[in-house]
Structure 1
Amino acid sequence: MLRAVDIILTEAEALNQTVREQSDRICYLEQLATTDELTKVNNRRGFELELNRTLSRAERLHEEGVLVYVDLDDFKPVNDTHGHAAGDEVLRHVANVLSENIREMDTVGRLGGDEFAVILTGTNREDGLIRAETLNQTLNQTSALWNGERIPVRASFGMQAYQAGDSASALMASADKAMYTIKQLKESEEAADTRVRHPIRKAEVAASVQAAF
């Protein structure tokens, strides 16, 4: 009788072990499905899942926060000049900087290519936008190290506050639009600076100044 009980207990333990292993395997596969292989932050699927969870919690608890949309500036020339391995290092660097400068309760994701996003949770609009701007300045003051050379990181940030009742798709669209507006403004300013620096343009500007007086 005791031997039969021992056999049953052994089989039960073996079954429990199999269930635990299968559960661990499922968790591992789920993590793979939601993690960006290169940067180890959330991929688009994982980020969107977190955003939906965040907005559901905001609905229940009447929380606020800020969604930040990040797009690297002039990333293609990095790949063209230094190679795709250098570009990958820049992407890893960006993910690390973003991850290291947020709280554990916040979320970073790589949406694809050179686009990232950050969810700053549990913060009011004013404080959230200040934190997002600090993150913007921090990232844009860094550089990625590649083969002994520093590659400056430049990025455009779009920020959109959220509250209870907001939808994920509308929030993403608004933050993306804000980012694109900033990028266009930066490109326009750079184009204007280039025209002023051009010798012919400089002469025209100087002549205009003299004529004004």
Structure 2
Amino acid sequence: SYTRVGGQLRDMPPGFESSVRRFLEECEVAIGEISKLLDKNKIFIDRMVNVGVISRESAISWAMTGPNLRASGVPRDLRKDSPYLGYEKYDFDVPVMEEGDCYSRYFIRMEEMRQSIRLCRQVLDSMPSGPVNLADPKSILPDKERVLMSMEELIHHFIVSTQGIDAPAGEVYFAAENPKGELGFYIHSKGGGVPNRLKIRSPSFCNLAIVSKLLPGHMVSDIPAILGSLDFVMGECDR
């Protein structure tokens, strides 16, 4: 993974900032073109409005999170409610709609992409210089080039990779705002580098559970719109 305990794999490559800014400009244009095509398209509206309606109460009782929850009138976003990674320093809005139908879920995601562009630009403007990793050999893997040239660094790499970080005994639950919803990790530790228990709370698994209640009463032709608007990943739902 690029992001690791204590830092990240490597620093940003030369030209990274300008490349991202250029992509954000292109992305903003593309989102605008999609909005012009779909937002007031009669066929699109007929197939999405009042289809797959999830009430505020149902969204809460089925433990839905993310855009699917906010499309049903619940303004919950962990980046605002429980800020982490410096989100409290940035200015962004949390789009919310009340209707809870397929169109609302589409519209929320379109608005969230615009907010993501807004966030990325603020991050680029405030990105600091300096080291990208902690100077802690017990937590950080050594540089790959040194591993290939030094037996000591190879042993260091092996120990960190196999034994992990010496975590204290205890338990913790941390959740982050994922594009699909709340992605949470519960870890129970008896000490050492291997968790005693790990439980992952995947947003798609919870969001998809409502399908058995949501689909009855709709036409078969509505199913693609409903499932697409829930925006789930089957890899998260497999148990």
TM superposition score category, shorter chain reference: under 0.3
Query: RCO higher in 1 or 2 (8 Å CA, sep ≥ 6)?
Result: 1
TM-score, reference length from structure 2:
0.21
Structure with greater helix percent: 1
